[in-house]
């Protein structure tokens, strides 16, 4: 925590990956303290971008120019250069994909402070950033932390909560988007984006199923898997394991296509035959499956 400061000027500053130039960039503007997207729309000339290679890094010459462009004068100028270089050093050390400082504030006494910041860390670098991962998992931020998201992340799954009532378990972002689109086209609303990826284990699938079935708003579950590297029989076994151990009270629609799809559908059909209290349907056709899950979720 830092003591409160009086603010005379608000500046926007961000370090980001620059995919176009295959390097990094510093985005900055004198119009800080507001939504940068709104600034970009209303006055795009107010936003500046300095691209640079990771090999060269942020040079003192570049940092000097950025601070000059931002109108930092007097003692704020060397302060700004020093802080820019430290923020960039932090960007590298924590494997960040984004560090956004808004506002970067100048006080009436001509001192520069980072008043608020957002930091995103590359999930692929979690093994190097164990301290940050641990701090995030133990966060006590209340409503700001989605427990389902935390549970999914802990076992290597991607989960994003939405506002609907149909839980979606898919593999691959493209299939996830098309699944959510067709659900809405059929008059339903997805409750989440849950991607089990291309090589999930049976245990990961079981965890995904637990997350979906435990969601208070979910009235139906749509499992939509295209088997490639991910084998449909692995998904089927995960579903069977979860349904055997978790009291699932909502209807489940399963669509399996691709590697070992026939075997997966046979496994689930035999399981349902022996457990008639579980509402589970296997429908290979995408359109028909979407129709069914929306109908059963009302």
Catalogue the active-site residues. Answer: 12, 100
What lies within 8 Å, CB to CB, of 144 at 6+ separation is none
Task: Using the structure block, give the residue that is written with the tokens 């462009």.
Answer: 69
Q: What is the largest CA-CA distance in the chain?
A: 79
Concatenated DSSP letters of the chain: -------SEEEEEEEEEETTTTEEEEEEES--SS-HHHHHHH-GGGEEEEEE-TTT-S-HHHHHHHHHHTT--TTHHHHHHHHHHHHHHHHHHTTEEEEEEEEEEE-TTS-EEE--EEEEE-GGGTTT-HHHHHHHHT---GGGS-HHHHHHHHTT-EEEE-SSSEEEEESSHHHHHHHHHHHHHTT--B-EEEE--SS--HHHHHHHHHHHHT-TT-SEEEEEEEESSS-HHHHHHHHHHHHHHS---S-EEEEEEETTHHHHHHHHHHHHHH-TTS-EEE---HHHHHHHHHHHT-
């Amino acid at each position: 925590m830092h003591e409160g400061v009086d603010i005379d000027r608000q500046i926007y500053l961000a370090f980001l990956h620059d995919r176009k130039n295959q390097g990094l960039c510093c985005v900055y503007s004198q119009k800080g303290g507001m939504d940068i997207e709104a600034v970009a729309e209303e006055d795009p000339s107010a936003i500046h971008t300095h691209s640079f290679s990771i090999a060269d890094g942020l040079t003192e010459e570049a940092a000097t120019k950025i601070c000059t462009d931002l109108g930092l004068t007097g003692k704020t100028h060397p302060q700004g250069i020093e802080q820019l270089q430290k923020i960039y050093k932090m960007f590298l050390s924590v494997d960040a994909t984004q560090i956004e400082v808004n506002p970067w504030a100048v006080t009436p006494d001509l001192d520069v402070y980072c008043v608020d910041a957002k930091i995103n860390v590359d999930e692929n670098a979690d093994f190097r950033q164990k301290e940050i991962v641990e701090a995030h998992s133990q966060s006590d931020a209340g409503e700001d932390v989605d427990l389902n998201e935390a549970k999914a992340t802990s076992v290597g799954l991607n989960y994003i909560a939405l506002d609907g009532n149909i839980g979606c378990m898919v593999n691959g972002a493209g299939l996830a988007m098309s699944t959510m689109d067709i659900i809405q086209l059929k008059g339903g609303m997805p409750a989440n984006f849950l991607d089990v990826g291309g090589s999930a284990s049976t245990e990961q699938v079981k965890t995904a199923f637990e997350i979906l079935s435990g969601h208070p708003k979910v009235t139906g579950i749509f499992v939509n898997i295209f088997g490639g590297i991910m084998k449909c029989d692995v998904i089927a076994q995960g579903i069977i394991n979860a349904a055997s151990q978790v009291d699932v009270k909502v209807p489940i629609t399963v669509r399996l296509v691709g590697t070992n799809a026939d075997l997966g559908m046979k496994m689930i059909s035999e399981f349902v035959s022996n457990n008639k209290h579980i509402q589970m349907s296997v429908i290979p056709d995408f359109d028909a499956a979407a129709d069914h899950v929306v109908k059963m979720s009302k």
